[in-house]
Structure 1
Amino acid sequence: MSGELQDTLKKRLDENYAAFIDSLQGKTVSELIAMAPEITTAQQLHEELLGACDEEDVEFLLRFDNPLEVVRGYWESEITGYDHSGEMGHMLWRIREDNQDEFERQDEKSFGIDEITLDPVMDFSGKEVVAYIEIGFDVGRRFQVYPNLDDSCGLYVKYDPVSQALRAELCIEDGYDGGKRWETVSLLPSAQKMIIDLMEEACQKDMGRSLRDTWTDHHPAINRENQHQKKNGRCQHER
């Protein structure tokens, strides 16, 4: 490509862009906002148009006194009427890739003991000990559950003293009609241990007994059944 022609086109584009910027002087804020697509297009073309031209393109554009304005009109209609879903899909994929590590670190972050309050009154009536926990953290960030602004949330945990398994459900109460919905959530091992320790501490303080012993007191039949199964297992092994 002729360097002289390229330099001429660059100078003309510079002049066109400077004239376009001058035309914006005196515009109100609302007018500038409405012209944002035009301004963005003019800036993009001023920076990138020359690099996209071959020698014939340069010669052709130099026939116009204002090549920037000519191309801008066509480019705006081109990008306005074009389906950008493919490019946007690729862009969103890049955003996910660039931010995935950060989101995963947030997802894996446990909550602190200062962000929860265990209700010491627990329910021992079932095969699992049920406890209610007031929470002071963002459930959207920790559990990817997004209640409405007026809703209230509480965490219910169910602990099986036999298997020592803990599972959790988030109770979301509608701030308008009081309706409740439940969301099963996953807790990190560190969070599970912290909650079980709090339950154990509450039992020792209020009952003077361990969590397992307190549960056993409420379910002597279940405890005898478990002991019977263990005894039968030992007998069969001995045979």
Structure 2
Amino acid sequence: MMKPIKVAVAGATGRMGQEVVKLIQREESLVLSGATARRKKGEDAGEAIGIGKLGITLTDSLDEVLAQGPDVLVDFTTPDQVKANTERAIEAGVRPVVGTTGLTEEEIRELDELCRDKGIGGIIAPNFAIGAVLMMVFAAKASRYMPHLEIIEMHHDRKLDAPSGTAWKTAELISKEREEMKQGHPEEKETLEGARGGYRDGFRVHSVRLPGLVAHQEVLLSDAGQLLTIRHDSLNRESFMPGVKLAVEDVMNRTGLVYGLEKILDL
């Protein structure tokens, strides 16, 4: 039997971090080696999230967690922390699996170079839900034939960045398949700033933030007399865990960092 993969979790008491800890505990192929959190420092990681004692003490020191020698660091923290966390993990020879959004294309390239210098793999995924990845890929393919489109993403009201990483990734994939084409009336004028959403390569991206939502996105594609809607809804955060598990296992056999879960799926 293969040795379990030692996984550390950054942001272990956050909404996503809690689900990752639960995933690790129920999977025989994974073992929790450390956990960071801004709150509940000094408490047992399992007791802090209500699943019983795990023997892992929460700390606010990432260096302390990395010193334990994990194979993988799963990061679900905040946009202001993620780059530094990922750099420190790579420097320590720990493979990053990152779900935190907010990294720029240039920062992702820099992190890829760091991974290659260390001879390890890394994965950054704006969305770990398999259905969301399929939604992004299908929308990009459809945009070849139906280039008039808009993206509407909807998240809970505690989300810090807008648009979401999923919307950015969807827009990126669409832009690779579709020539830039300005949509709408050429003399269109906003009478309320932001009413038409953000602009990307001729199409618009809209962000909705409301309590009770988790993570939802639809891409509307239209042509004369028809509308195609490609939509995905994450109804709870457990929906992201199969993708997290897939990424943790895949990153053990990879050199260099990839951006997007679709890169490790057979699509």
Q: Which has the higher contact order (CA 8 A, sep 6+)?
A: 2
Structure in which a larger fraction of residues adopt helix: 1
TM-score under structure 2 normalisation?
0.19
Structure in which a larger fraction of residues adopt strand: 2
Specify the structure having the higher radius of gyration (Cα): 1
